[in-house]
Amino acid sequence: MSILDEFLLTDRVAIVTGASSGLGVAFAHALADAGAAVVLGARRTDRLAAVAAEITGRGGRALAVPLDVADPGSCAAAAEAAVAEFGRVDILVNNAGLGTAYPASRETPEQFRAVIDVNLNGSYWMAQACGRRMQPGSSIVNISSVLAITTAGLPQAAYSASKAALLGLTRDLASQWTGRKGIRVNAIAPGYFATEMTDQYEAGYLDGMRSRMLIPRLGRLEECAATLVWLVSPAAGYVTGQTIVVDGGVSIT
């Protein structure tokens, strides 16, 4: 057996939340390329259908399901749809996220709660729904952010708090489930990648951030997706409870 075989996901079934754009699309394609059947979840079902068509057009297996991660019932339905279509759930990628930038003195309770409800609570509801169905050897990856461990000059209290909380959730679920259920739980903390979120930054912001990047460019989506494939594959079978930072060095400057 080649070492490269350790990165294959043949006969595995993955759910990717927030799979209608950005990193979610890259994650879905990478998992499918590695051999997994992919269940795509998001609220924008028209975009999901397009992503699913791209994957099946390349010979992969994909199912698009409407998903609101803030609704525990919707999370349970997505997990059940994966089982009904493909027979199992082996991988969960908690990628759905909401980013806002409000000054802390003016952020409303509704604005703050909306971010927490998607980024933190939604990841927990999905982990619950999938963890109840997963077998030993399964894997959960929570997509956090470099803002969980550093700051970046924008007023993002809700976003930063939610992404930092995901790291605590990752450690606790790993502690509860890896030994008892054989489910590995890890996190990825991406830095700056070209996505819808970075498109919303004011002109000049990313240019300023490049001075903090040891690799002075935006990350390529494929670089983060390759990290994900490794983390959910047998190649990372001895890794759990960890946060893998993919940020070009921003967090250490």
| pLDDT digits 0-9 by tens, 82-111 | 999 999 999 999 999 998 889 999 999 999
Domain 3-243 is classified in which CATH homologous superfamily?
NAD(P)-binding Rossmann-like Domain (3.40.50.720)
The domain locations on the chain are 3-243
Cα gap 28→32, rounded to integer Å: 6
Q: Is the pLDDT of residue 207 over 80?
A: no
Beta bridge partners of residue 93, listed in sequence order = 16, 141
pLDDT at 175: 98
If we measure between CA atoms, which residue out of 11, 14, 35 comes closest to residue 24? 14
Active-site residue, selected from the candidate residues 159, 192, 201, 205: 159
pLDDT digits (tens, 9 = 90+) for 167-183: 999 999 999 999 999 99
Within 13 Å and on the Cβ side, how many CA atoms surround 199?
5
- Token couple for 40: 């795509």
pLDDT digits (tens, 9 = 90+) for 65-81: 999 999 999 999 999 99
Does 124 participate in catalysis according to the annotation?
Answer: no
